[in-house]
Structure 1
Amino acid sequence: MTGSPFQYIASSRVRFHQELYLRPRRISHYRFLYVEAGCGEYRIAEESFQVAAGWLGLLAPGVRENRYFGREPVSYLFVEFQAATRLTEQRAVPFPGQDPQRSALISLLKTIQAEQADAGGCLLAAAVRLMFPEADRGTQRRLDDRLRKVVRLIEAAPDQNHRISELAETAGLSEPHLRRLFREQMGESPKQFLRRTRMEFARRLMQQEGLRVGEVAHLLGFASVFQFSAQYRQVLGHPPSEDRGMG
């Protein structure tokens, strides 16, 4: 992810008149959801919650399963995107505000969906600010400048397994200070962020570029496919073979 802390993935307006069930699948991005009509149930990482007409909010990454009931026509709008940092610890966050903020967020989502794009991430940044008004500035801009250097280094070369000492040197910090800063601002250790970035990169290589598991393991510098697969499962919750068979 480069430039903006938010990267547009996809959006759509979905309408149907029958029950719809989507089996559990691992989702690596955030989703803004606005339910215009109908009702259903979501399950994300073992947590269930109901949605109904008028529900507006944000769904977090995770193993997602959902069902819309066929008692009445269903219509919903969604916008999916990636964020450079974790936005929330919750699986689903209902929009906390009222009009005019609520109408402003819905308008932003409709604009993004109509254009099928948000090249600079500006509209998504505005949507996230409306969603989390306590954050006076965009997530990425709140990062310490030293931490931002490390994040950029990792994201610019996800095939590299950087040493923590190297990352600390890049930031001009001691290793303990770097770890503390990461946990305060990113919600995870530098090692966890590095591994997650590398495994998400590996997933993209398999799903979008068609690389085999062994090829990805070699590209990322793992000594064996077994070692790569073990870390992939640890970070993403399932073996790489599942993603190799998708898309």
Structure 2
Amino acid sequence: MTVSADGLPDTAAPGDPAPPPGLVVVGHFDQPPGYGINRPRGADSWLFTWTTGGRGRLRHGHTEARAGAGDLVVLAPGAAHGYGVEPGARHWRFWWAHCQARPTWRSWLRPYDAGGGMYVVTPTPDAVRGRVEAAFHRMLADARWTGTEAPPVMAPGEEPVAVAHGTAARELALCALEEVVLLTAGIARTQLPRPGVDDRVRRAQALIDADPAAAHTVRSLAAHVALSPSRFAHLFTGQLGQSPMRALREARLRHAARLLETTGLSVERVAAASGFASPYHFNRVFRERYGTPPGTYRSVGPMVGV
């Protein structure tokens, strides 16, 4: 059985098949085979789905995706979409949220663009899945906040859908959803070492990625993993195909690109916050890496792959 959104209860304006823009609506479903939603006119709001069990199938324009446990699938406004239990699956258990996405989220979702306004964020490490689900639970509770007392705590068996009506409740709920976006999509910002890489090289790369603006040197990184500078540099370069200082520069450029996308900091402050002592040097290497100067990147985005 396919359920058309036009036949759903009147939760939106007449003729509008999804919650209207401005509302924040969140829910948790566990649906049996045959469940499906079809919106031939699309929606004016974004739709976020996070699967916790079973399997779902989503369509957005001409793009399709299958979702399993730990997958975040995001549908942008403006295209026909549909979703439901994947044929052959026993059920689909998932969180969902309709809202207007914060502008900064686009840069985090961009690496997972599947085309046509669909973003498939996978894989999500097991280590953060519990925190992601906790954020959705908090979003469901925060959406009910009246602003007069502490936000309610979700109780077992409570109504699985909530609409955030007040301004404070909407913003609080969006903060929880922002945590979901950052935890899941943030992994795209880290260049993970290839399988089989020496653990000491992995730890050095993780140290660089965690704080690219720090005053790292070959000597300081080598000391962190208990190797001599020469042995460390040889091992790092041989296994990752680039020197430790080249890896550091790449991490700093990625960090700078993120700041340009998500903050209003001046180019000079972005350079300093990313570990570049010279704004002139920063402008030159940023343009070499992204094909456009930092100021232009902020307004039009990258001209080459990020």
When the two structures are superposed, what TM-score results if normalisation uses the length of structure 1? 0.48
Greater percentage in strand? 1
- The structure number with the bigger radius of gyration is 2
